[in-house]
Structure 1
Amino acid sequence: MRKLSGIIIILLLSFFILFLILDKCFPLPIKTFRTTQTVLAEDGQPLWRFADENGIWRYPVTLEEVPAFYIQALLTYEDRWFYHHYGVNPLSIARAIFQYVKNQRIISGGSTLTMQVARIIDPHQKTFLGKWHQIFRTLQLEWHYSKDDILTFYLNHAPYGGTLEGIGSASWAYLGKSPSHLTYADAALLAVLPQAPSRLRPDRYPQRAQIARNKVLDRLKRYKVWPEKIIDDVQREQVWTFPRKTPQLAPLLAHRLHLQYPNTPIIQSTIDISLQSTLEDMAINMEGRLPPKGSMAILVVDHTNMKVKAYVGSIDFNNNQRFGQVDMIQAWRSPGSTLKPFLYGLTMDSGMIHSESLLQDIPRLTADYRPANFDTGFNGPVSVSEALTRSLNIPAVQLLELYGSKRFTAKLHQAGLTLKSSGKTPNLSYILGGASARLDQLVAAYSVFARQGQASRLRFTPDEPLLNKPMLSEGAAWIIRRILAGDKPMISSNISNIVPLAYKTGTSYGYRDAWAIGINARYLIGIWVGRPDGTPVAGQYGYASAVPILQQVHHILLNREYNKQRLLPSHPKPDSVTVQTICWPTGEAIAKDDANCHRQRMAWILNGIIPQTLNTGIESQHDQYQFAKMTIWINQKGYRVAPDCPNAQKKQVAIWPIGLENWLMPNERRKALIPQMDSDCPMVNENRVNSLVISGLFDQQTLRPLPDKDQVRLTLSSLGGSGQRWWFLDGQLIKLTLERESFELALRQKGQHSLLLMDEIGQIERISFTLQ
């Protein structure tokens, strides 16, 4: 016996050493299993999944994430002695060999749960040699891993039919629920499916699946694992034909997070799955309203915490004709006029303007840049609030010229909004869409108007920190938001702390991009409409194309808030904002009966500062044309005189910017405001403005061609004014001339016409005439 015992010990030791050598030479190939990835909604439901190279989807779980009764059902049916053997059950192997010898074919493999994991890791042929290969891998598993590790691997890699592996993916695909929410009936069904996953698929063969499930229940009853009453109740349940469900929401967001977190198996997002589904359906239903190959993007963000709640990067991910797989939320596109609110806020913080400051919507002509309004017309004197709400281009360019293009671009960049252009040097065109921006950065920057002047970064996952960057003062942000919401300052009434929907539209040059960025009481809403390939779409602009979608999304969000019975966030007026009555043209707070108060307006004032009316860049270059309270001396007759004349009285006269002359009432023009000079005691060496006059055509003149001619030829020139002149016929630039330089104009089209002349300092002369 001692000799036999010694031989056995030597053999066992030899086998152990041989095992260690083989284990070193042939390690377990577990690392070859690439983890698949699943992107979850905020409530844990899968939005999208990324399969491995074989198309397999796995949703990893831990032992703690599945019910204990599922583990009971699995081990009872598959391997009752799992926690008691070393990977190989000798009794099961003996039974399998006996059945093979008796029947001359394999009846049962005698496989333990560990052996099944070994077969998943390293598949083998169903031969005796293959069996020894499986046993070797089984012993390796038991040597290197704990029982819980092996069981966890089985939970995540057991086959469940088709491209599903693991209880996690099976639970979501077949049952539409998390593994942690399985019922007893679910547990019994999922415990048996790996036995024959293709043959027992409940979505295809519910009767087969029910028969197999009941076998599990019978075994549980035999060994008294579950209470008998629960087993009886489960047996009476039918296995319904579950529609197999593949996560197919927010695909472009999922791809974005996949690139950002490539090695994270489960990515928890901030997406509201119900809202995401609603907006994706809405987008698909709008395909018929868009032109061919048109697309759209919708981004919804809760500005109280900057969590992204919905992300629709294209109109339909599966529509290749509309470039559905191009994420327009991350695409660089011309933002049109959507940058204007930032400029007005920054200039307000700089003390340059208040909400009703006088701006000039007049033709602007320089050697390098000639902007025009969307409707190609001009409005003359406009307020800051009117210019912003009507998205007028010329006043915005006026402000940017004074504030500085580089300074403006740097402020946006510091707040997380980057602008790109081919020239790479910021210029005046940036404020009208002359540089490219991204919808996600644009929406994030608009948080400045809802978050007390702080621009905050978007949060796509709950773990991402809330990062804030100061951009505007709290007061300036509040005023701009109220202007965009259409609110007016009133002293007599209190304004509601719940701000209505505020939004800004944008249209890029050539109708390529239509934008609408909105801020309601809780959410930021970003809308883009256009063609991803940049092809112009005639008639597509922000107010007509993007605003209806914005308003529809806004109403969906408000209804959800009411259904949740959740109070809307308030945004009360900061102490730094007051309401003040101001007067044009000075922009100052003066009495209504003051002779220099030509037009009175109610304004929101920041920090009690009431800035005077700004000059344009052209006016700043010519001192004699700057806006000012002009100091004059008048005599008893009311004529202007020199200061040292007898009985001369000093008087201040507020004059309007000279470029507005053509849009003012007769009693507001300089001719009416500045008295005529008294020839008996005139001022010496006074800088006088030479009025601009059109020569060669009279106002309201009617023209007719000669009997044998089909056109009228005119010789036009100008008198007065300063510098270069620009001639416009019916809004179109037709000629550039110098002082007293003449040119010929041939007219053929009959009807009413308008001829406008503008000089270098902004003086304008306009006449109308008729060609019969």
Structure 2
Amino acid sequence: MKKIKAYLKGVNRKRLFKWLVAPVSLLVLFFALNFIFPLPDHIEYSTIITDDKGEVIHAFLTKDEKWRMKTELNEISPLLRKTIVHKEDKYFYYHPGVDAIAMTRAFVKNIFRMKRTSGASTITMQVARALEPKRRTYFNKVIEMFRTVQLEMKYSKDEILQMYLNLVPYGSNIEGVKSASILYFQKNPDHLSLAEITALSIIPNRPSTLVIGKNNDKIIVERNKWLHRFAEDKVFTEKAIKDALEEPLTATRTSVPKLAPQLAYKLKKQGGDNIHSYINLNMQLKSEKLVQDYVRTLSFKNIHNAAVIVINNETHRVVTYVGSANFSDTTDGGQVNGAAAIRQPGSTLKPLLYGMCLDAGLMTPKMTLTDVAVNYDGYAPENYDKQFNGYVTMQYALEHSLNIPAVKSLRMLGKDKFVQQLSSCNFMQIRKDQRKLGLSLILGGCGASLEELTALFSLFANDGKFVAPDYVQYDADKSKKKTDKKSSNKKVETVLSPASTFMINEILSKVNRPDFPLNWQSTEKMPKIAWKTGTSYGRRDAWSIGYNKHFTVGIWVGNFSGVGVPDLSGANVATPLLFKIFNTIDYDSDKDWFRQPKDCDIRMVCSETGLPPGDHCTNLVTDYFIPLTSSTQTCNHMQEVMVSADEKISYCKMCMPEVGYKKKLYKIIGADMQAWMTERKITYEKIPPHNPNCEKIFKEGSPAIVSPSNNAEYFINRKDPEPLQLACNTGNDVSRVYWYINNKFYKATDAKSKIFFIPEEGPVKISCTDDKGRNRDIWIKVKYVSL
């Protein structure tokens, strides 16, 4: 008995071993083949660009010239899923990829009828066939089943259904439900009706004979057959089936949308299949039409292009992007992206400069600057109108976009500090050229794009905080809440304080400015905005960038060829388009404006200097300032001087007589302003000449040599040498100056006179001494050349 039991036990073990060997061997073989022949599941999709609502606004063909747009999982609506699964593979969610029952049934039918009358391909098997197309043979069927198992192991059922919907053929070069939906019905798959989905579901079976737009009658017949089957199987309600049967089919193939082309090409370079932008299509189309119509009116002036960017200031999203007046216009470079092109920014950087000066405590809006001729190591900036204005306030200088006060302010603040701030605000060309840039950058002597400038100006609408604008939606497959959360976590850089931002906003929102466009009538309902214009050197670029609480709008107008036009200016050419855009996107919405922040206060200042009043200040005005930051130095524009009774001689403490003198107030006027006033014959009360018998040597207030320029190199024609001018600025108590060339006396002259000399070749030392014994030296280098 024991022997029998032992024998039976051994037999069972052998059987169990045999039963395990086969499946284990198959499993090992499968994984080996899976390693050797990996699943060819790399699918190239058409790059598509969608707007803020997910509608396709632009698309690109794949490398093999196919329209194969990727249908995302969230675009597979329950209606689409239910229709496709019931028609193609009822048990899709229940079988392991291969439906053994369906395959057996199909095999038996085909054997008895001696021809292929029924297929048994599941949705997964159809995906495998689409990934690796082969001839219909039994051996290839085995390969197809192997690929099917690979798919089922690697992907979920929903992902496999997504792949099927992306690969299903619709004739010609159209593949995928989304491509067919866009090209035939001009809508996304999740917006298709039951009738439209059913019509699309039958085309892959006969893509060459059932072509939408050509065979619509045949498609309706086949569609209705399947709708009746759905009714028999009670897949949908009677009303849904009835509505679908009555729905006409008028669809035909259309072109793929080609909207916002420059932005589409820009985003395509970033990579991705479905790129979700924040473009507001309604706003985009209106802006494109305005730009095209506006540029058409400028063509007779030889101005042929413009670009526009609109940023939503609350979300920091780019909602409109117009790269040129007409993308299809090849005669004027319509395909160039003017919004991304690097151009000279003109005066558009001045608001940031003055805002930084306010925060540095260097000035307040009513503080005075001098707008007179200057020369910084050979750089002599000029104003737009070639004129000088003398004393001006910072507010006036910004309102009138004066160049010389801006250059002086940049020198005060520090060029490197300003460049560093622009670099941190993503000005890429400025970051690249930062070592080459000089004081001229504030007048446009640098490179910037409309994208960068519009992003910069959006900080004025956000309390001085810079946030790089978003062009595309990240985490598009996730919930809107998560997307918004990610946007809110973006890096925020505080560039200006709320106080300085508010002051700049107040200045730039005034309409009684010289850069208000001429003959502009449509301002009655225009929203209140702040804006700044700019015109590049040679009148090649016209800029106007404006903002309010809702939007920041950047405008560039000019020619892509870089040809300058005499009539081109930011005020008269770019600003009218800015106003038109604002009138369209934010009509009559001036109720919500920026409020004065807590860190901004008001004080009384002297109207002469903009400083808190001193003992001799009589004319006072109100001015904004930043407590604990703005200068508290009191005004000292008046100087008490001891003069003789007849006011012809002035005294210092060293030479003051015991009797026979009196004290008198004189206005302190700098040497540069004295020169300006003298040239324009503006009278001012001068301090009398100092006591000639005084032996004191003064150390401060030495003459400022304005010509020639210190450290400059001069090339002089050897055959016909031109003399160099000697000129200086002195204090108003100086009457004569003495010039020395290479330590040798040259000539004595009045303080305001200009004389000339022909220098020797090589390094030349030039000295100027005034009648108080104060001296200033400069060096120049002279080369004689044959011309």
Could you say which TM-score interval applies, normalised by the shorter chain?
A: 0.7 to 0.9
TM-score, normalising length from structure 2? Answer: 0.75
> What is the aligned partner in structure 1 of residue 624 from structure 2?
604
Q: Residue 324 of structure 1: CA displacement?
A: 3.5
> What is the aligned partner in structure 2 of residue 629 from structure 1?
638
| Of 187-196 and 331-340, the range deviating more from structure 2 | 187-196
**SS at 1:633 equivalent:** strand
CA distance in 1, matches of 2:434, 2:492: 30
1:167 and 1:179 in contact (8 A); partners too: yes
**SS at 2:586 equivalent:** helix
Say whether residues 1:522 and 2:574 are aligned partners: no
Say whether residues 1:574 and 2:574 are aligned partners: no
Say whether residues 1:213 and 2:228 are aligned partners: no
1:532 corresponds, among 544, 560, 569, to 560
CA distance in 2, matches of 1:724, 1:410: 42
Deviation string 1:42-75 (CA, Å, 9 cap, x unpaired) is 2222233344212334444455642333323223
The amino acid of 1:311's aligned partner reads: Y
> What is the aligned partner in structure 1 of residue 756 from structure 2?
741
2:583 corresponds, among 555, 574, 587, to 555
> What is the aligned partner in structure 2 of residue 31 from structure 1?
41
CA gap of 1:690–1:581, structure 2 versus 1, over 3 A, is same
Say whether residues 1:354 and 2:364 are aligned partners: yes
Q: Residue 282 of structure 1: CA displacement?
A: 2.7
| 1:660-671 alignment runs, 5 A limit | 660-661=673-674
CA distance in 2, matches of 1:119, 1:244: 29
RMSD: 4.3
CA gap of 1:45–1:569, structure 2 versus 1, over 3 A, is farther
> What is the aligned partner in structure 2 of residue 277 from structure 1?
285
CA distance in 2, matches of 1:651, 1:549: 56
CA gap of 1:290–1:54, structure 2 versus 1, over 3 A, is farther
> What is the aligned partner in structure 2 of residue 472 from structure 1?
496
The amino acid of 1:486's aligned partner reads: K
CA gap of 1:213–1:649, structure 2 versus 1, over 3 A, is farther
Q: Residue 287 of structure 1: CA displacement?
A: 4.4
Deviation string 1:121-175 (CA, Å, 9 cap, x unpaired) is 1112245555454444445445655544432321222123444332233334433
1:361 and 1:381 in contact (8 A); partners too: yes
1:443 corresponds, among 446, 454, 475, to 454
Q: Residue 422 of structure 1: CA displacement?
A: 5.8
**SS at 1:231 equivalent:** helix
CA gap of 1:588–1:666, structure 2 versus 1, over 3 A, is farther
CA gap of 1:65–1:741, structure 2 versus 1, over 3 A, is closer
> What is the aligned partner in structure 2 of residue 401 from structure 1?
411
> What is the aligned partner in structure 1 of residue 784 from structure 2?
none
CA distance in 1, matches of 2:31, 2:595: 75
CA distance in 2, matches of 1:145, 1:718: 84
| Of 175-184 and 102-111, the range deviating more from structure 2 | 102-111
CA distance in 1, matches of 2:726, 2:351: 41
Q: Residue 92 of structure 1: CA displacement?
A: 5.2
> What is the aligned partner in structure 2 of residue 182 from structure 1?
192
The amino acid of 1:378's aligned partner reads: F
2:609 corresponds, among 583, 586, 590, to 586
2:125 corresponds, among 100, 115, 123, to 115
CA distance in 1, matches of 2:680, 2:87: 99
TM-score, normalising length from structure 1? Answer: 0.76
Q: How many residues align?
A: 675
**SS at 2:58 equivalent:** strand
Say whether residues 1:375 and 2:385 are aligned partners: yes
CA gap of 1:225–1:582, structure 2 versus 1, over 3 A, is same
CA gap of 1:603–1:682, structure 2 versus 1, over 3 A, is farther
CA distance in 2, matches of 1:76, 1:228: 17
Q: Residue 691 of structure 1: CA displacement?
A: 14
CA distance in 2, matches of 1:639, 1:113: 109
CA distance in 1, matches of 2:695, 2:24: 122
| 1:59-98 alignment runs, 5 A limit | 59-61=69-71, 65-89=75-99, 93=103
Q: Residue 677 of structure 1: CA displacement?
A: 6.0
> What is the aligned partner in structure 1 of residue 438 from structure 2?
427
2:39 and 2:147 in contact (8 A); partners too: no
2:303 and 2:565 in contact (8 A); partners too: no
CA distance in 2, matches of 1:723, 1:55: 82
CA gap of 1:170–1:236, structure 2 versus 1, over 3 A, is same
Q: Residue 16 of structure 1: CA displacement?
A: 4.3
Q: Residue 298 of structure 1: CA displacement?
A: 1.2
The amino acid of 1:530's aligned partner reads: G
| Of 189-198 and 283-292, the range deviating more from structure 2 | 283-292
Deviation string 1:81-129 (CA, Å, 9 cap, x unpaired) is 4345454456655666677678876555443323322221111224555
CA gap of 1:447–1:668, structure 2 versus 1, over 3 A, is farther
1:585 and 1:654 in contact (8 A); partners too: no
Deviation string 1:465-523 (CA, Å, 9 cap, x unpaired) is 432212222211111111111179xxxxxxxxx99311111122122222111112311
Deviation string 1:654-702 (CA, Å, 9 cap, x unpaired) is 2233433476599996x643464698x986658799999xxxxxxxxxx
| Of 279-288 and 306-315, the range deviating more from structure 2 | 279-288
Identity of aligned residues (%): 28
Deviation string 1:198-231 (CA, Å, 9 cap, x unpaired) is 5434344433332232122011012221122221
> What is the aligned partner in structure 2 of residue 513 from structure 1?
541
> What is the aligned partner in structure 1 of residue 720 from structure 2?
none
> What is the aligned partner in structure 1 of residue 767 from structure 2?
none
CA gap of 1:169–1:15, structure 2 versus 1, over 3 A, is farther
> What is the aligned partner in structure 2 of residue 542 from structure 1?
570
1:631 and 1:652 in contact (8 A); partners too: yes
The amino acid of 1:741's aligned partner reads: F
> What is the aligned partner in structure 2 of residue 755 from structure 1?
none
> What is the aligned partner in structure 1 of residue 395 from structure 2?
385
> What is the aligned partner in structure 2 of residue 728 from structure 1?
none
1:640 and 1:682 in contact (8 A); partners too: no
CA gap of 1:13–1:423, structure 2 versus 1, over 3 A, is closer
**SS at 2:90 equivalent:** coil
> What is the aligned partner in structure 1 of residue 669 from structure 2?
656
2:39 and 2:150 in contact (8 A); partners too: no
1:230 corresponds, among 228, 240, 243, to 240
CA distance in 2, matches of 1:367, 1:665: 24
1:74 and 1:192 in contact (8 A); partners too: no
| 1:144-293 alignment runs, 5 A limit | 145-241=155-251, 244=254, 246-260=256-270, 262=271, 264-291=272-299
Q: Residue 76 of structure 1: CA displacement?
A: 2.6
1:456 and 1:467 in contact (8 A); partners too: yes
The amino acid of 1:459's aligned partner reads: D
2:313 and 2:458 in contact (8 A); partners too: yes
> What is the aligned partner in structure 2 of residue 492 from structure 1?
none
